[in-house]
Amino acid sequence: MVKKKVGLIVNPIAGMGGSVGLKGTDGGMHLKAAELGAKPVAPARTESLLTHIGRGREIDFLVAPGAMGEAYLKATGLTYEVVGEVGAETTAEDTRRVASQMLELGVELIAFVGGDGTARNIYDAVDRQCPVIGVPSGVKVYSSVFALNPRAAAAMVDHFIEGVESSEQEVLDIDEDAFRKNILDARLYGYMLVPVDAAHLQAGKEGSSQGLSNVENQHEIAEYVVESMEDGVLYLLGPGTTVNAIANEMGIEKTLLGVDAVCSGKLVASDLNEAGLLELMEEYGRARIIVTPLGGNGFVFGRGNRQKLSKLPCLRVDSGDDDLDRQLSGYVDVIVGYKYSKVCRVEY
């Protein structure tokens, strides 16, 4: 049996900024995230990927050293070779260099764990010289080179081993400084090849139309939601323009890309991180979460772009916790207009 050479590169700090409200880890922000108590996200995502690959015995893995890949293969019994060297504090340059070295060794597919920043690093080294699969682990995951979740990424690896073809998908450049200032600035950075697997690949970023009908629909939804709010209940308002319309209807100022809390018509707190959310939920006892479908893939939890419900086959969750995702899955009522809702399926 001729084995395929599959690379694995992990960004060990990807996603750490999410739980503490930092919107990302670019520019050394992972250090601040750690100070605020953030825990690494990438290890569990990587372990899930490797656990769910069914054709691992047909693969010779090329892995980055230490926490960038090697650490996760040691306990699997799978065949692997460590590529290159990295320091104790890994950098974007490490990702680019190791990816280039993998190409020199004849890698046929690179799976990487991270967010859009990691995708750009991989693109800088690989371009379209070999296919890639992104395993979503970052705060910003807008590029269409990412699988829906680690399990989906594993299925894509299996399908690549089976011989599926590849097609070009977008890599986007997200301005993280602007993101922290409540501005979503996404630009096309380039294209990479990704195994063709529409069932497991997330769709590309799709902006929210601000035409008259869309604005009117947001206003109808906002009016109905505000009318339905109960006094004394804590409402956690997620990101997006539709939820922002709810805040406008209440006469409060909302952070467009953050999570804010309101109760009895008043703003309680803005741009909350995980600790702040948990503290408020403990204080108020009764709480409800208001979110809107995000991304061309319809993520309710786990991604960050806006999307019309009418274009979505289902809603999705990817919280990073399989048990929680399972609890959130099923059928739910989604408010789509004034006193009008639609039953939608939530998948994980």
pLDDT tens digit string along 140-153?
Answer: 788 999 999 999 99
Lowest-confidence segment of 21-25, 217-221, 320-324, 335-339 by average pLDDT: 21-25
Written in H, E and C, the secondary structure of 197-226 is CCCCECCCCCCCCCCHHHHHHHHHHHHHHH
Distances (CA, A) of 20 to 89, 117, 118, 129, 256: 21, 18, 20, 37, 17
Lowest-confidence segment of 34-48, 56-70, 243-257 by average pLDDT: 34-48
Q: How confident is the model at residue 35 (pLDDT cuts 50, 70, 90)?
A: low
Secondary structure class of 324 (helix, strand, coil): helix
- Provide the whole-model pTM: 0.66
**Residue 304: pLDDT over 50:** no
Task: Answer yes or no: are the C-beta atoms of 201 and 156 closer than 8 Å.
Answer: yes
Q: Please identify which residue in the block is written with the tokens 């947001």.
A: 218
Q: How confident is the model at residue 210 (pLDDT cuts 50, 70, 90)?
A: very low
- Integer-rounded Cα Rg, in Å, for the chain is 21
**Residue 118: pLDDT over 60:** yes
Q: Which of 24, 68, 42, 28 is nearest to 173 (CA)?
A: 24
Lowest-confidence segment of 41-45, 185-189, 273-277 by average pLDDT: 185-189
Predicted confidence at residue 208, as pLDDT, reads 45
**Residue 157: pLDDT over 90:** yes
Indicate the DSSP class of residue 141. -
What are residue 134's DSSP bridge partners? 112, 146
Residues of the chain with CATH 3.40.50.10330: 4-195
Q: What's the fold here for domain 4-195? A: Rossmann fold (3.40.50)
Per the prediction, the chain carries an average pLDDT of 84
Predicted confidence at residue 273, as pLDDT, reads 84
Q: How confident is the model at residue 32 (pLDDT cuts 50, 70, 90)?
A: low
